[in-house]
Amino acid sequence: MMTRIGFIRHGETVWNAERRAQGQSDIPLNDRGRRQARYLAERLRTEPWDCLFSSDLSRAKETADIVAEAIGVPVRTDPRLREMHKGEIEGTTPEERIARWGEQWEKLPLGIEEEHSIVGRGTSFLSELIESARGKNILAVSHGALIGLTVRSLIPHVNVDVHFHNTSITIVRYDGSKWDCELFNCAKHVQQ
């Protein structure tokens, strides 16, 4: 029995537009992000989605609320779907990080959540879903790092070293024994 999970990255925020590291700072959608979410909702309106989960951060939750209204299912929040905690770099631009910590800032211990922690949250969420919603089509509104690292842990051959577009959808399938990627980082609804 096939279970499908559509991972959605939230719509744009002011900090996205300014290239600031958001991490778990609770930054809301901007007007463009709300438009992106409406385009996504319109795309998903005619597809068979059974349930919808969201990170509890407002940018993801608002994206999920807009989609939920279109597809007629309630939103359930789960803090495991939150973005990577970015430690001391939250709120900074790339230029500010270089000015503050130098070109090699990424090698410094700045309190950034480790990849294994993010993957652990993502796979814990999916393990529960596989048990409780087997055979269903599930949407999960989350954040770029969590989506990318979780997908890479399930399907190592998928190149996740890309920028996930705001409101892109990545669909993974589980057939009971293995994971596969059906659609990756697709944002055609906002690129038309």
Positions marked active-site: 10, 83
* CB-based burial, 35-50: b 16+ in 10 Å, e otherwise: bbbbbbbebbeeeebe
Contact (Cβ atoms closer than 8 angstroms) between residue 34 and residue 62: yes
In the chain, DSSP assigns E strands to 3-9, 51-54, 75-77, 137-142, 169-174, 179-186
Kindly list the strands in the beta sheet with 179-186, ordered across the sheet, starting from the edge strand earlier in the chain. Answer: 75-77, 51-54, 137-142, 3-9, 169-174, 179-186
